[in-house]
Structure formats: C-alpha cells, structure tokens
Amino acid sequence: MTLWWAIATVCLGCYALKLAGLAAPRRILDHPVVSRFAELVPVALLAALIAVQMFSENGELRFDLARTAGLGAAMIALLLRAPFLVVLATAAVITALARSFLG
C-alpha cells in the first residue's frame, strides 16, 4: 500500500462516513449502544494518539523533556481557558525554548 493509496482510502472513507449520517434513518441514533459507542471511541483514540506521539519514536518508548514541557504549558493554557490557537502556540513556543536551553 503506497502513501497515495492510504490518502485516497481515508478521503473516500471519511466522506462516506459523513454522508451515511445525513442519509441514514433517524432511529439509528436512538439506539443507546450506538450513541454511547460514538461518544466514547474518540476519547480513547485521541488520548492514545497523544500518548504515542508524546512518548514514542519509531516504535520505541522515549521521553522527550522539551515536548513534555510544551504539553504541560498547553494544559495550563487550557485551564486558563485560552483560545484554541493560543494553546497550540504556547505548546510550540515552550517546546522550542526548552529544546534550545537543554541543547
């Protein structure tokens, strides 16, 4: 599977998922198992993505102090109710500063 095939699959698949919701009968959503699964899955996946992108490189566990400091700064920004882009900019700036000081 080349990268372009993966991109085509994701583009087509994501569009089909969006269209399926608009076109499907309304009663599907009323099924409690469906709505609960839909609420929970993104939480687990997003948390797993954060963990893997923060603490692993090329399939091995690795702790990066500068990046961890950046995510900590993002958490503080979120606690202070900063806007979305301010949160991202804070994380990047703190990571870059920590990296330049730590060498």
Partner 1 sequence: MDTIGDRSAAIRDGLGVGVAVGLSGLAFGAAAITAGLSVAQACVLSLLTFTGASQFALAGAIGGGGNLVAASAGALLLGGRNTLYGLRMADLLRVRGPRRLLAAHGVIDETAAVTLAQPNPAAARAGFTATFASLYITWNLSTLGGALGTSFLGDPAVLGLDVVGPATFLAILWPRLAVSAELRWLALGGAAIALAATPFLPPGVPVLLSAAAVLVVMAR
Map the footprint of partner 1 across residues 58-97, applying CB under 8 A.
58-61, 66-67, 70-71, 74-75, 78, 83-85, 87-88, 91-97
Nearest approach in angstroms of CB 32 to partner 1 is 10
**SS3 call for 61:** strand
Query: Is residue 103 a contact point for partner 1 (CB under 8 A)?
Result: no
Q: Within a 10 A sphere around the Cβ of 90, how many other Cβ atoms?
A: 19
Query: Is residue 101 a contact point for partner 1 (CB under 8 A)?
Result: no
Nearest approach in angstroms of CB 63 to partner 1 is 11
The site map against partner 1 for 13-52 (x = CB under 8 A) is: xxx-xxxxxxxx-x-xx---xxxxxx-xxxxxxxxxxxxx
Query: Is residue 1 a contact point for partner 1 (CB under 8 A)?
Result: yes
CA distances from 3 to 9, 39, 89 (A): 10, 30, 29
Query: Is residue 102 a contact point for partner 1 (CB under 8 A)?
Result: no
What's the rounded Cα separation, in Å, for the pair 2 and 69?
35
Nearest approach in angstroms of CB 86 to partner 1 is 10
36: which 2 tokens?
Answer: 């609960």
Tell me how many degrees the CA angle 14-20-22 measures, rounded to the nearest 5. Answer: 110
